Amino acid sequence: MSEILTEQEINIDRLEGLFKAAFFRAERDKDGDLVIRDEQGVNTFVKVDADKKMITFYSLWGLKSRFPEAAKLKFANELNDGLILVRFGVPHPNILWCDYQFLYEGGIAPFHIINTYRRFVNVCKGAVQRDKDDMIGRD
């Protein structure tokens, strides 16, 4: 895992193999998207944008419908203000969106990809821990 992957080597198949080699539960969903499943409930989708030379990690969390949209937006803003690395948003009244994007232009070390994933998951878990009103989940 110490070699540098070139831009041409970065694709979704290579990332799937990289995560499996690091003993993560990596699989394709019904749409063919790569999903890394954490034992504690964080499902991370992985996308590669070859044109922009960018890898995206994102996760979606349900938000309970009994809360007003303004409270959900306030919660996302508080997460953005208090947590690092991950961007939070409410693209739909019942969804909390979490993402992080990073460039692989010029090549990237597999360690950086795996380490960034670990940090992403930890920050997402931190968001759940900050949910004092029990807004995340299903009604």
Residue 91 domain-assigned? Answer: yes
Torsion sign across C-alpha atoms 78, 84, 90, 94: negative
The predicted structure's pLDDT at residue 1: 54
The predicted structure's pLDDT at residue 32: 85
Residue 2 domain-assigned? Answer: no
The predicted structure's pLDDT at residue 31: 87
Residue 137 domain-assigned? Answer: no
Q: What is the mean pLDDT of the chain?
A: 95
Residue 55 domain-assigned? Answer: yes
Q: Residue 38 in 3-state DSSP?
A: coil
- For the chain, what percent of residues have pLDDT higher than 90? 93
Dist. CA 19–CA 25, nearest whole Å? 7
Average pLDDT over residues 5-25: 97
Per-residue b/e over 79-109, b at no fewer than 16 CB within 10 Å? beeebeebebebeeeeebbbbbebebeeebe
Residue 136 domain-assigned? Answer: no
Q: What are 30-45's pLDDT values in tens digits?
A: 988 999 999 888 999 9
Number of domains observed in the structure of the chain = 1
Residue 47 domain-assigned? Answer: yes
What CATH number is associated with residue 111?
Answer: 3.30.1460.10
Range of the domain at 82: 7-129
